[in-house]
Amino acid sequence: MKIALIGYGKMGKEIEKISNERGHEVIYKIDKDSNLKNISGADVAINFCTPETALQNIELGLKSSIPVVSGTTGWLSDFNKIQELSKNLDIRFLYSSNFSLGVNLFFDLNKKLAEIMKKHDQYDLNIEETHHIQKVDKPSGTAITLAEGIIEKGKYNNWSMDNEKKSIPIECKRIDKVAGTHIVNYSSELDSIEIKHIAKNRTGFALGAVIAAEWIVDKKGVFEMSDVINDPNFKF
């Protein structure tokens, strides 16, 4: 499989390493100084760029008739635009706030716990996310996905970093050399119930992105990582 790699920072380099190990070839390495107008010849594009350049880079892939797998967060105000473009061009697109298998299992666990806890008003909910100091967007896309999973269950209307009423509070921390930690905590005067996911390195994210790229090549439509994991033929 020939890959166009959009974003060539630490994550991009990890994706390149895993792609090579799995027998693929990276034929484009696109960073912030690149000025490519077309990436034809690639079988798939994997996008991990900055939030500011996400829209134009995803459009670059789709308009080159290349399926795009994107893990960039902080750009979702433009998601509907990309979804519509993907459908109009009949080009595959897959977005996930986190490609780690463990995190996607954590998403499911979070929803199941939210279903149980919505009946127990004595517990206050809090989400905490911690990342390395180079991470620009706050809160993380993973924290937002966790909050959205809880909102689905009907007790909360929104999430907030400012403790707004009826919103899920999200606390953000930036600490050097932390790959990513997410905690969902329900606390009362008597006890606390907590689930936590700790990423030990970037490898899990990068491997998941490459697997998603392998999966999407022969598909049609707009997808998320749960579609990959829930595929009966999926093997991690």
Cα 69 versus chain centre, distance:
10
* Euclidean distance between CA atoms 69 and 225, whole angstroms: 10
- 139: cis peptide before it, omega within 30°? yes
Residue 154: Cβ-neighbour burial (10 angstroms; 0-12, 13-18, 19+): exposed
What are the structural domains, with CATH classification, of the chain? 2-95+203-229 (3.40.50.720), 101-199 (3.30.360.10)
In order along its 236 residues, the chain shows pLDDT tens digits of 999 999 998 899 999 999 999 999 999 998 876 777 788 899 999 999 888 888 988 999 999 999 999 998 888 889 999 999 998 999 899 999 889 989 999 999 999 999 999 999 999 999 999 999 988 789 998 999 999 999 998 789 999 998 787 899 999 999 988 989 999 999 999 999 999 999 998 899 999 999 999 999 888 889 999 999 888 887 76
Residue 150 CB neighbour total at 10 angstroms = 22
Q: Can 135 be counted among the known catalytic residues? A: yes
List 2, 132, 135, 138, catalytic entry: 135
